[in-house]
Amino acid sequence: MASKLRIHDLIPESIVDGPGLRYVVFTQGCPHHCKGCHNPQTHPFDGGREISIEEICRDYQVNPLLAGITFSGGEPFCQCQPLWELGQRIHDMGGTVITYTGFLYEDLEEKALTDPDVKGLLSVTDLLVDGPYIEELRSLDLPFRGSSNQRLIPLSGRIPPDLLS
């Protein structure tokens, strides 16, 4: 497996990127170019910087209060292999994994039939937040989402549904 990831930024503590206190990885590179995107600096695939999975795990381990990790963007599904590996490591440490994506879950499921890395990242994702950001559907009332088309899709039972509302 790959052991390096291209990131825009790391946030060691967040309470707005999923339930509980979470470590957030903003990946670098996004093909979606949603109108009104709040993180346009994450779009270029040659921007940001590279970091090893090992380094992120060391940083994550420093804080015993973390509930888990959130992969945000950028587009995490453009770097499935290292995030799959990182997600496995976070699970081994008892944390949960939330993955944001501009793709639709149904399309990712179809890709997973022929792409083992997509399948791998889905397999370590406990909660998927899917769909592009649509400026016309922007809402400040929705927990953990920017626009009302985006869905919170539990892929395991590890994040209780009552924490998502």
- Catalog residues that contact ligand SF4 under the rule CB under 6 A: 30, 32-34, 37, 39, 42, 73-75, 102, 132-133
Residue 38 or 65 with smaller CB distance to ligand SF4: 38
Nearer to ligand SF4, 66 or 98 (CB): 98
Identify which of residues 75 and 126 has a Cβ nearer to ligand SF4 in the complex.
75
Whole-angstrom distance, CA of residue 121 vs CA of residue 20: 21
Residue 34 or 56: the one with the smaller Cβ distance to ligand SF4 is 34
- CB 107 → ligand SF4: shortest distance, Å? 13
Nearest partner of 99 among 46, 49, 152, judged by Cα: 152
Integer-rounded Cα radius of gyration of the chain: 15
Task: State the minimum distance, in angstroms, from the CB of residue 100 to ligand SF4.
Answer: 7
Phi–psi pair at 106, nearest 5 degrees: -60, -40
* Shortest distance in whole angstroms from residue 50 CB to ligand SF4: 19
Measured CA to CA in angstroms, residue 71 lies from 114, 125, 136, 137, 150 at distances of 23, 9, 24, 22, 15
Q: Which is nearer to ligand SF4, 32 or 119 (CB)?
A: 32
**Coarse DSSP helix, strand, coil percentages of the chain, rounded to the nearest 5 percent:** 30, 25, 45
**Shortest gap between Cβ of 32 and ligand SF4 (angstroms)?**
4
- Counting beta carbons within 10 angstroms of the beta carbon of residue 76, is it exposed (0 to 12), middle (13 to 18) or buried (19 or more)? buried
Minimum distance, C-beta of residue 90 to ligand SF4, in the bound complex (Å): 21
